[in-house]
Chains A and B, each alone.
Chain A
Amino acid sequence: MRGGAAALLLIAATMASGDERLSGTAFMSPETRAMQADDLANPGMFAVLEGARLWEETAGVSGRSCAGCHGDAAETMKGVAARYPAFDEASNAAVDLTARVNLCRTRHQDADPLPPEDPRLLALTTFIGHQSRGQKIEPDPDPRLQPWRELGARLFRTRMGQLNFSCANCHDDNAGRHLAGNPIPQGHATGYPIYRLEWQSMGSLQRRFRNCLVGVRAEPFAYGSREFIALELFLADRAAGMTIETPAVRP
């Protein structure tokens, strides 16, 4: 009851500001919202702590740590997650935060890239994402990102899988309704990486995409693929101005 009232207030507050966009947090039970809001109860904070430890640790042949080059993350990494994916000059392509961390490992630390969903990679990206908590999403305006923006917007509206759904069919057209009792959120990626109770672990935005695609019986795109980076960029544009919540908790 009280949770319902709180959700209504939250919705009323956003509506009053003329913005009808809602974070996935607004669609959760009061218990899960409370878990996310309390840093002592939020399991994602373990990843933040682990990321802070790895930030200081040397890796690869270079013997250098992230901190060795980037210093205090609270200063140098503030706002970074809020404007990713961004354009990388050297590879002449859009990269997300996950790809960026692995580029620093291979380019600057002489270390092997970490595999997708490796707990260390998730810890580092959660730690970096957390430095932007409370900041507004402000996508990179670089015009060279245009092809990714367009691909992402197109993919979001493309029907896929045996069940023949586009992302927009659920997250634009049916958000707030229920698939067998499960609320469909608007699909704003404001809290990634997330701690998902169903996974009992942290997971990246691309893992979330793969879940949605497998759910409609589609062949998911590969981790790190151009398609996934494009979808991430499109979602950043779609959520521009919304507040970063990393690490979010999801059911």
Chain B
Amino acid sequence: MRRVVAAAAAICAAGGVCAGEGMPPLTSTPGDPERGRAIVIDRETGLCLLCHSGPFPEVTFQGDLAPSLEGVGARLDAAALRLRLVDSRRVNPDTIMPPYHSTDNLNRVGAEWRGKPILSAQQIEDVVAFLATMTEVAQ
């Protein structure tokens, strides 16, 4: 616990800015929402819809282990979205949402995946940019 909190604080300090529960951009290249959407709906890359659902008509089978992503851009700002993607354990230590850009405190990671985050820094920025556009909720 204490270690996780300390790591979050360190990242905030390194980035310079740390407004509330959030994280500053990981790269200087702005995220591309179109690429972000492709990552979110892909079962191997983003895996998001294994657990989440959302307004993605082309994805027939969606998960029900997590809240719908619909309107998430209205609920959370980019910094808060980024923090949850990079390592949701910093918000909820018991989360089942995988840490997309952290390799800390993982156990028995398969050889193919060892030492690598699930998404690269630029992919995180792409997904954040896309989620930030998801401000609408169907009536």
Q: Are B96 and A169 in contact (CB under 8 A)?
A: yes
User: Counting CB contacts under 8 A, is B98 at the interface?
Assistant: yes
- Among B62, B109, B116, the most chain A Cβ lie within 10 Å of the Cβ of B109
A42 to B28 CA separation, bound complex (whole angstroms) = 58
Bound-state Cα–Cα, A240 to B35, Å: 49
Q: In the complex, which residues 192-231 of chain A have their Cβ closer than 8 Å to any Cβ of chain B? A: 213-214, 217-220
Q: Kindly list chain B residues whose C-beta atoms are within 8 Å of the C-beta of A217.
A: 109-110, 112-113
Work out how many contacts link A and B, with CB atoms closer than 8 A: 68
Q: Does A69 touch B at the CB level, under 8 Å?
A: no
Known pairs A163-B98, A164-B98, A165-B96; A180 contacts B62 (CB<8 A):
yes
Interface size on B, residues (CB 8 A): 24
* Chain A: CB-nearest residue to B43: A180
Any chain A CB within 8 A of the CB of B60? yes
CA distance A18 to B106 in the complex (A): 38
Digit string of B34-63 for contact with A (CB within 8 Å is 1, else 0)?
A: 000000000100010111000000001111
Flag whether A115 is at the interface (Cβ < 8 A).
Answer: no
Residue A62 CB within 8 A of the other chain: no
Which chain A positions have C-beta within 8 A of B106? 159, 161-162, 164
Interface size on A (CB < 8 Å)? 23
Which residues of chain B are within 8 angstroms of A179 by Cβ–Cβ distance? Answer: 50-51, 63, 65
A178 within 8 A of B: yes
Q: Which chain A residues border B3 with CB–CB below 8 Å?
A: none
Q: How far apart sit A169 and B92, CA to CA, in the bound complex (Å)?
A: 14
Query: What A residues does B65 contact at CB under 8 A?
Result: 174, 177-179
Residues of B with Cβ closer than 8 Å to A? 43, 47, 49-51, 60-65, 96, 98-99, 106-113, 116, 118
Q: Other than the known A164-B99, A177-B64, what 5 A-B pairs have Cβ atoms closer than 8 Å?
A: A162-B118, A163-B47, A180-B61, A217-B110, A219-B110
